[in-house]
Amino acid sequence: MKRIAVDMDEVVADVLPKFLTLFETINGHRPVEDDYRGRKLYQLPGGENLREALYHKGFFADLPLIPGAQEGIQTLLDQGNEIFFVTAAQEFRNSLEDKYDWLLQYFPSISWRNFVFCGDKSIISADYLIDDHAFNLRTFSGKGLLFTAPHNLHETEFTRVNDWPEVLAFFEQENQANGANR
């Protein structure tokens, strides 16, 4: 059994549509992906106040799922893996209840005991970490998988997975390689 730590935002919960709508509300226009390729929306001119929304109660409560996330997590569970959701929620204290409730709603087969709300993911002890931020993967002691998001498109340091079918394909290859080594 593998222990797989899974980040929440931009891996299973899609923050980008909410930020795009907020950007448009504030600035009167919606940026196109080329505008924010390789950076966060709040790094764009006019996006400076977007990050403030992360501190508001309710911001994380109604985020849409990343396509394939529920099915991908269930497949990994069905294959006998142990799944932990790991999110650096401590910076945004109002996000804790929202994120907890969101996880219970969309991933009811994962026990609350497998929800890790932390500030520093280097404390996580797992075989794998799937995250959209390379800085979290740099301090992780297991194998890091970089989940593609517009802000990390220029990162080349880690194994990249573009979507949940690629996550499942990665673990299928890992299982085959480990089976061949027995």
Reduced to 3 states, what is the DSSP secondary structure of residue 7? strand
- How far is 2 from 104, CA to CA, in rounded Å? 22
Please confirm, yes or no, whether 9 is among the known catalytic residues: yes
Q: Quickly tell me which residue has 């504030």 as its tokens.
A: 26
Of 7, 98, 131, 132, the catalytic one is 7
CA distances to 23, 64, 125, 149 from 50, rounded to whole Å, are 7, 18, 32, 17
Asked whether 119 and 133 are in contact (CB, 8 A), the reply is no
Q: Collapse the DSSP code of 16 into the 3-class scheme (helix H, G, I; strand E, B; otherwise coil) and give the result.
A: helix
Round to whole Å and give the CA distance between 97 and 89.
10
Residues classed as catalytic: 7, 9
